[in-house]
Amino acid sequence: MTTALLSVWDKTGIVSFARSLHELGISILSSGGTGKALAEAGIPFTEVSKYTGSPEMMDGRVKTLHPKIHGGLLGRRGVDDAVMAKHGIGGIDILCVNLYPFEMMAEKNLPLSELVEYIDIGGPAMIRAAAKNFKDVAVICDPSDYSLITDALAKGGISDAERLSLAKKAFSRTAAYDAAISNHLYGIDSLFPEVLTVQFRGGRPLRYGENPHQQAAVFGTIGIAGAIPIQGKPMSYNNYLDLNAAVGLLREFDDTACIIVKHNNPCGVATGRTLLDAYISARDVDPVSAYGSVIAMNREIGSDVAEAICSTFVEVVIAPSYSEDALRMMKVKENMRLLTLPAPHLADEIRSIDGGMLYMRTPPYREHWEVVSEREPTATELEAMRLAWRVCKHTKSNTIIFADKKETLGIGAGQMSRVDAAKIAIEKANKPLKGSVVASDAFLPFPDTLEVAADAGATALVQPGGSIRDAEVIEAANKRNMAMIFTGVRYFRH
């Protein structure tokens, strides 16, 4: 290797990298801001314009778009040598380029006339050329890879496997860059683009999918997708689904809370004065379903909670942190997965369907709670309704939630009939429902669900409202002296 071309927007580590290349006897081509940085550091280099014999033009728009640059990147050693010699093209063995920050500037809502100036042309062209010719050219588009190059060169050379790995990363970067530009331009005049391109990194194979005969992988490096256990077996496909559901509901709570999820539905939700109180209350909502569940908590797990968790079989636990004693105790359950709660990285929802996908955005939406019954809810009922309503949002439809102000009491989820959901919730309740409240994710089309809930002991109900029979349901509530609130927002979850 004799020649490297360095042209970067993000100059993190570039001077140190260039100095290492120079010390290894590699000649450097550079220009613009990168060249200025090298000059200030006293690192010898040749200006690209001097090398090509062509000046930079059009405010730098035309700089590296030249046969001596692209020929040096694309020329196949041992195949194109004669052509390169005929036209005075020297080989470029290392290309170090990162791109204009289009993604960052697009977030600043610049006028399009300004934003287009951050669409890099020469950079992606050089990256793609070098990546195509990866057998002869090492391409670096990420400063974190500088040490890979210098370490390899110090040991005698860059291996074929390393070259291919760098080429993959390069094409991935240009694909993401073009996707960002396309999505932004398509989205200028519409809520959703006509063409949507997405990219997820960090793909990892899983043992199997939802069932053992299915193949699966997880993609993503942040949030739940990027969560890796600090203890226990690797995460499974179903673990990720349940963990995502549990954490989504957990983030509804500021006070000390525990969420227990089984098969993508909460089976126990509770708040408490202490985390142990919250855990025991949530577990005892449905202890049978809590066996083999996913548990999410929003406070540090100490030894008392660890001991309680270890008394049963749990698949996954996630919390902001763990005490040293808790970690030591939980090691006994060597297969139990422990994870640290990541910062939220909420995004639009993407779901595949036959031939395409569904895409959903949930903007901030202000609920308008309105008392529609003759009787106002008490302060205790109102507090309980707020808890039940939070849980309702994260439970599969049709769903009915019975709760008091501290915990869920009965959960009926995923039923075709709302009345059946209520009956299941009542049947599964392990505590008396007298004085409880009820939440329904969608409006009640008939008074029957309210009547079933009232017969079980519920005294208040929260629902979206909006049925053509709202008046009948309100009349039934008044007959039972139930307080009822309409929220104006439906929370179907399929």
Among 11, 132, 169, 393, which one carries the catalytic annotation?
132
Asked if residues 233 and 335 have their Cβ atoms less than 8 Å apart, the reply is: yes
The kind and range of the H/E element at 463 are strand 460-463
- Which tokens is 414 given? 């995923």
Does residue 108 carry a catalytic annotation? no
The β-bridge partners of 44 are none
Does residue 132 carry a catalytic annotation? yes
Which of helix, strand or coil describes residue 295?
strand
Other residues' Cβ atoms within 10 Å of the Cβ of residue 212: 7
The kind and range of the H/E element at 250 are helix 237-250
Type of residue numbered 487: T
Other residues' Cβ atoms within 10 Å of the Cβ of residue 364: 4
How many residues are there in the chain?
A: 494
In sequence order, what are the residues at sequence separation of 6 or more whose Cβ sits closer than 8 angstroms to the Cβ of residue 137?
Answer: 73, 92, 93, 94, 95, 130, 163
What is the Cα–Cα distance from 62 to 4, expressed in whole angstroms? 20
Among 11, 233, 263, 405, which one carries the catalytic annotation?
263
- Of 33, 27, 37, the closest CA to residue 72 belongs to 27
What is the Cα–Cα distance from 431 to 284, expressed in whole angstroms? 9
Angle at 107 between CA 104 and CA 113, to 5 degrees: 90
- Of 200, 139, 214, the closest CA to residue 345 belongs to 200
By annotation, the residues acting in catalysis are: 132, 263
